[in-house]
Amino acid sequence: ACTGVGGEAFVYVQHNNLYLCGVTCKNSNIALILTYLYQLTALFQDYFTTLNEESIRDNFVIIYELLDETMDHGLPQSLDSTILRQFITQEGNRMADDSKNKPPVALTNAVSWRAEGIKHKKNEIFLDVVEKLNLLVAANGTVLHCEINGAVKMKSFLSGMPELKLGLNDKVMFEATGRNQQARGGKSVELEDIKFHQCVRLARFENDRTISFIPPDGEFDLMTYRLDTQVKPLIWVEAVVEPHKGSRIEYMIKTRSQFKSRSVANNVEISIPVPPDVDSPSFKSSVGNVTYLPDKDCVVWTIKQFHGGREYLMRAHFGLPSITRDEADASNKGMGSGMDMSWKKPIGVKFEIPYFTVSGIQVRYLKIIERSGYQALPWVRYITANGDYQLRMA
């Protein structure tokens, strides 16, 4: 944010090569303005697929219409693309009945995120619990930073106006309802920084930790959460580097999966940084494929399926120029060898483990209640993936 000559505040977000800017002359809620700008960006992307200078020029009429509907007298209104698409289309303006041009009832309903009269041949709802692990490990093996960012994602195909209740193994909920034994039993989790979709009844959650809601139709994020907790690195990587001055450099990489053997990590990618002037790469690995990426100055070891409790080895050998630029600079300054540790960035790891959550969060129940009394099928899936997952080299 920045301030103008007349005291105006300019609040902006950047997307690709564009800036979306909000202007206020009052002491406004900055978080509200930023949220509006981010949701407006997502809305434009949903309408135009890609949001850039060209798509804005091609769709400026629709953008004016969207701005008119999403903001009234400086107050954000509905930013739900499903509802807005019912009366702001990407087709040309046509003469039509006034009744057809009226905005949908959902806009003025208490439930503005869901239209009335939705019908599906098969009533079912899909729920994904996705957790991303941010981890930083020091060269001596000490975990310096560990954080879990989780999201409960839903895809709803339910008819009518269903009422849903979701139960998690929430420690605070167990304690609030007098189930202290379950709270202390180790099978509960203490969620922090919980953020809900607007469909969740917050008053009820504050009262008894019940997550009850009428879901939007289609795909949406029901909630996001965070956990600050110490966990054992799921995929451990050790690197032994042997530089031979002026001729070659050798790597021995050992990786170990530290989760239960019944789980499998898919599409594991281990990125090992190497000096920028290496050549003649050769690799030998007990599993997977190894690729040298000269544009990124790193080696990528790809393992399609990494079962729990397994350990694998990889050796890499590179040639070095007879004298490196670092060595030339160092010798000129009388500092000796330039083969220092400055190029050793942390090792990065990518992975995805299905049917597994690192926090231990569980969906205890998902109840679906609708006036017509139909039976719906809930499907639940768990996924753990890497976030910013790095291990420093010794």
Which range in 41-55, 101-115, 172-186 is most confidently predicted, on average pLDDT?
41-55
Q: Find out whether 300 and 347 touch, Cβ atoms under 8 Å.
A: no
Q: Which residue has the tokens 């599409």?
A: 267
**pLDDT attached to residue 357:** 92
Please give the structure tokens belonging to residue 356.
């597994």
pLDDT > 50? residue 59: yes
Nearest partner of 386 among 306, 273, 275, judged by Cα: 306
Going 354 to 172 to 144 to 295, the CA torsion angle's sign is positive
Q: At what angle do helices 30-48 and 60-70 cross, to 10 degrees?
A: 140
**Mean pLDDT for the stretch of residues 96-123:** 69
User: What is the model's pTM?
Assistant: 0.75
Q: What is the pLDDT of residues 318-375, one digit of tens each?
A: 998 765 555 555 554 544 444 445 467 899 999 999 999 999 999 999 999 998 989 8
Question: Percent of the chain, pLDDT > 70?
Answer: 84
Give the count of beta carbons closer than 10 Å to the beta carbon of residue 33.
21
Q: Whole-angstrom Cα distance, residue 117 to residue 111?
A: 13
**pLDDT attached to residue 212:** 95
**Mean pLDDT for the stretch of residues 11-37:** 91
Q: What is the pLDDT of residues 303-317, one digit of tens each?
A: 999 999 999 999 999
What mean pLDDT value characterizes the chain?
85
Q: What is the pLDDT of residues 129-161, one digit of tens each?
A: 999 999 999 999 899 999 999 999 999 999 999
Q: What is the pLDDT of residues 210-267, one digit of tens each?
A: 899 999 999 999 999 999 888 999 999 999 998 887 688 999 999 999 999 999 999 9
Q: Which residue has the tokens 């890497």?
A: 386
| Parallel/antiparallel/unpaired status of strands 75-76 and 71-72 | antiparallel
Q: Which residues pair with 377 in a beta bridge?
A: 124
Question: Percent of the chain, pLDDT > 90?
Answer: 53
Q: Whole-angstrom Cα distance, residue 367 to residue 163?
A: 8
Q: Find out whether 131 and 203 touch, Cβ atoms under 8 Å.
A: no
**pLDDT attached to residue 99:** 46
Of 376 and 341, more confident = 376
**pLDDT attached to residue 394:** 75
Phi, psi torsion values for 41, nearest 5 degrees: -60, -45
Q: Which residue has the tokens 């030998």?
A: 284
Going 108 to 111 to 114 to 120, the CA torsion angle's sign is negative
pLDDT > 50? residue 96: no
Q: What is the pLDDT of residues 178-219, one digit of tens each?
A: 665 555 555 788 888 999 998 999 998 888 888 999 999 999
